Amino acid sequence: MDLVIRDVRVVDGSGGDSYRADVGVRDGRIGTIAREGGGERPTARRVLDAHGLALSPGFIDMHAHSDLALLRDPDHSAKAAQGVTLEVLGQDGLSYAPVDDRTLAEVRTAITGWNGDGSDVDFDWRTVGEYLDRIDRQGTAVNAAYLVPQGTVRMYAVGWDDRPATDAELAHMKRLVAEGLEQGAVGMSSGLTYTPGMYASGSELAELCRVVASYDGYYCPHHRSYGAGALEAYEEMVRLTRDAGCALHLAHATMNFGVNKGRAPELLALLDEALDAGADISLDTYPYTPGCTTLVATLPSWASEGGPEATLARLADDAAAGRIRRHMEVLGSDGCHGVPVEWDTIEISGVTEPSLAPFVGRTVAESGALRGEEPWVTARGLLLADRLGSTILQHVGHEENVRAIMRHRVHTGGSDGILQGDKPHPRAYGTFPHYLGRYARELGVLSLEETVAHLTSRPAARLRLPDRGLVREGYRADLVLFDPDTVAAGSTFDSPRTLPTGIPHVLIDGTFVIEDGKRTDALAGRSIRRGR
**Residue-wise pLDDT tens digits, 387-400:** 999 999 999 999 99
Residue 2: inside a domain? no
Q: Which of 253-257, 263-267, 421-425, 467-471 has the lowest mean pLDDT?
A: 421-425
pLDDT at 98 over 90: yes
CATH of the domain at 416: 3.20.20.140
Domain boundary among 395, 424, 457: 395
- DSSP bridge pairs for 384: none
Domain boundary among 377, 395, 413: 395
Q: Which of 133, 14, 19, 122 is nearest to 68 (CA)?
A: 122
Percent of the chain beyond pLDDT 70? 100
Give the pairing of strands 391-394 and 291-294: antiparallel
Split at pLDDT 50, 70, 90, the class of 57 is very high
Same-domain pairing of 381 and 445:
no
pLDDT per residue over 81-95, tens digit each? 999 999 999 999 999
- DSSP bridge pairs for 480: 56, 506
Rounded-to-integer distance, Cα 208 and Cα 81, Å: 36
**Strands (E) located in 166-290:** 187-191, 218-222, 247-250, 281-285
Once rounded to an integer, what is the mean pLDDT over residues 513-531? 96
Q: Which pLDDT belongs to residue 388?
A: 94
Rounded-to-integer distance, Cα 331 and Cα 346, Å: 18
pLDDT per residue over 456-466, tens digit each? 999 999 999 99
Tell me if residue 56 falls in helix, strand or coil: strand
Rounded-to-integer distance, Cα 179 and Cα 158, Å: 17
Q: Which pLDDT belongs to residue 231?
A: 97
pLDDT per residue over 463-494, tens digit each? 999 999 999 999 999 999 999 999 999 999 99
pLDDT at 531 over 90: no
Rounded-to-integer distance, Cα 403 and Cα 295, Å: 27
Same-domain pairing of 364 and 488:
no
Same-domain pairing of 278 and 342:
no
Rounded-to-integer distance, Cα 508 and Cα 423, Å: 29
Same-domain pairing of 251 and 341:
no
Q: Which of 420, 503, 513 is nearest to 455 (CA)?
A: 503
Same-domain pairing of 407 and 498:
yes
Q: Which residues contact 210 (CB under 8 A, 6 or more apart)?
A: 244, 245, 246
Residue 151: inside a domain? yes
pLDDT per residue over 4-30, tens digit each? 999 999 999 999 999 999 999 999 999
Q: Which pLDDT belongs to residue 339?
A: 93
Residue 527: inside a domain? no
Upstream peptide bond of 196 is cis (omega within 30 degrees of 0): yes
The distance in angstroms from the start CA to the end CA of the chain is: 26
Rounded-to-integer distance, Cα 500 and Cα 78, Å: 9
Residue 167: inside a domain? yes
pLDDT at 55 over 70: yes
Residue 492: inside a domain? yes
Once rounded to an integer, what is the mean pLDDT over residues 33-49? 93
- Per the prediction, the chain carries an average pLDDT of 96
Rounded-to-integer distance, Cα 69 and Cα 79, Å: 11
Rounded-to-integer distance, Cα 311 and Cα 321, Å: 10
Q: Which pLDDT belongs to residue 39?
A: 80
pLDDT at 241 over 90: yes
pLDDT per residue over 280-333, tens digit each? 999 999 999 999 999 999 999 999 999 999 999 999 999 999 999 999 999 999
Alpha-carbon Rg for the chain in angstroms: 23
Q: Which of 174-178, 186-190, 290-294, 455-459 has the lowest mean pLDDT?
A: 290-294
Rounded-to-integer distance, Cα 279 and Cα 189, Å: 18
Same-domain pairing of 134 and 278:
yes
Tell me if residue 442 falls in helix, strand or coil: helix
- DSSP bridge pairs for 481: 55, 505
Contact of 260 with 230, CB cutoff 8 Å? yes
Q: Which of 155, 158, 174, 178 is nearest to 105 (CA)?
A: 155
Number of domains in the chain: 2
pLDDT at 74 over 80: yes
Residue 46: inside a domain? no
Same-domain pairing of 309 and 455:
no
Q: Which pLDDT belongs to residue 421?
A: 85
Split at pLDDT 50, 70, 90, the class of 532 is low
- Which structural domain, as residue segments, surrounds residue 463? 59-289+397-519
pLDDT at 105 over 90: yes
Residue 530, CA atoms < 13 Å, CB-side half-sphere: 25
Sign of CA dihedral 149, 152, 156, 157: positive
- 10 Å CB burial of residue 4 (0-12, 13-18, 19+) is buried
Contact of 37 with 81, CB cutoff 8 Å? no
Residue 470: inside a domain? yes
Domain boundary among 395, 424, 449: 395
